[in-house]
Copies of this chain bind each other. A is one copy, B any other.
């Protein structure tokens, strides 16, 4: 999995804690997380295309959450960055196997089916967790994070 997913997660969480209508620029987000600014922009654009962020051009522009934290699942984030394709993709090599029927198999590949079951379990687990859940868990261990983050990126 691309590491852009991790960046997106932390940046989104920061925006959740900021909780301000004013957008935050890529430069500030990149500096705050010690990440390459140019590449981070690419990931944020992907989040915009997926409808998770809103972008604002011009002076004092930047990015802002498009939905509430409770309406953004981890599945949304992963899909936005890594794409919707499943990790395992069946190339139907059984079609070229010795003794395969001429017209191809009529039913689904059993190997593919079993892998899809595991993939579904993964996606279900991601779908069941929202940014609000992660936020709550993080605050449980470090209650000072919201204030600190708000001070770093939020209204001056």
Contact = CB atoms under 8 A, between A and B. Distances in A.
Interface in A85-109: 87-91, 93-94, 96-99, 105-108
Instruction: Give this chain's copy count.
Output: 2
Nearest to A75: B118
Contacts of A129: 114, 117-118
Contacts of A3: 89, 91
A61 B148 CA distance: 65
A119 B122 contact: yes
Interface string A72-83: 001000000000
Interface of A: 1, 3, 5-7, 9-10, 13-14, 31-35, 74, 87-91, 93-94, 96-99, 105-108, 110-111, 113-115, 117-122, 124-126, 129, 133-135, 137-138, 141-142, 145, 148-149, 151-153
Contacts of A118: 74, 122, 125-126, 129
